[in-house]
Amino acid sequence: MRKPLVWAWAFLLGATVSLAPSLPAQEKNRVQEVAEKMKAVFQGVEDYSSEVEQIYFKNGAEKERYRFKYYFKKPHRIRVEFIAPHPGLIIFYQGGEKQATLRPFPSIPSLQFNLSIDSSILKTPTGQSINQTDMVFFIDFLFRNLAGVPQKDDQFEEQKEQVNFLFWGRDYVKGETPERYHIFISSQNWFPVRIERYSPEGYPMETSIIQNYVFNSHPVDTLFTP
């Protein structure tokens, strides 16, 4: 069975930047302002869902592509419904737990498996875990790396419906290697709509496309219960 979980929030470009010049103060402040807007908006969001397409590359060429619907409800409930591959597969996760539940067939709801969140079956091809997929983790990731990782790129573009910028941060999985991200944020809801990751040589590694957000629909708790 191929690894089923590929998460919308796997973000991006490995390189050593300890000697890189810092991002100009004006540009750094603009990225900081975006992160603060995201945090403020998220405080008013009790739940959200989105449709995600996740693309993985090898040696610059596309290798794997996944589509799924992602649900989140505070304080930390997650449900992932796969569209392709593995149509019908569902993952349930409760924040703080060491296990997630995998239900492979919607027609047989009683058939399910509890797996460690560290299981390779439940990780993305780059090793990202389900507890590293929500907006809580992403916003914290931005603030943590703005404060601790030199930002050498000065690209910040503001368009009618979105802003995008280059960003350096230590990887999601272990928080060790500095990576480079190209992040696109909707200026309508201040949630990410596209995240790109590249290798140090400039080859694409991952692309996440997130769309069709629905906020505060108040789904019943049983939606998140195996």
Task: Write down the domain spans for the chain.
Answer: 25-224
Q: Measured between alpha carbons, how far apart are the two ends of the chain, in Å?
A: 21
pLDDT band at 215 (very low <50, low <70, confident <90, very high): very high
pLDDT band at 180 (very low <50, low <70, confident <90, very high): confident
Please compute the mean of the pLDDT values over residues 119-143 and round it to a whole number: 89
Phi and psi, residue 100, nearest 5°: -125, 160
Residue carrying structure tokens 């996740």: 54
CATH ID of 25-224, from 3.30.70.3040, 3.30.1390.20, 2.50.20.10, 3.40.50.2000: 2.50.20.10
- Lowest pLDDT segment from 5-14, 76-85, 170-179: 5-14
pLDDT band at 21 (very low <50, low <70, confident <90, very high): very low
pLDDT band at 204 (very low <50, low <70, confident <90, very high): confident
Indicate the SS3 state at residue 196.
strand
Task: Say which residue, 28 or 34, is predicted with more confidence.
Answer: 34
pLDDT band at 28 (very low <50, low <70, confident <90, very high): low
Comparing CA positions, the residue from 8, 74, 39, 45 lying closest to residue 146 is: 39
Q: pLDDT tens digit string along 31-76?
A: 999 999 999 999 999 999 999 999 999 888 999 999 999 999 999 9
- For residue 80, the surrounding DSSP H or E stretch is strand 77-84
Could you tell me the CA-to-CA distances from 139 to 9, 52, 133, 147 in Å, in that order? 11, 18, 11, 13
Residues in the chain: 226
CA distance 20 to 152: 6
- For residue 183, the surrounding DSSP H or E stretch is strand 178-186
Comparing CA positions, the residue from 118, 133, 104 lying closest to residue 226 is: 104
Indicate the SS3 state at residue 171.
coil
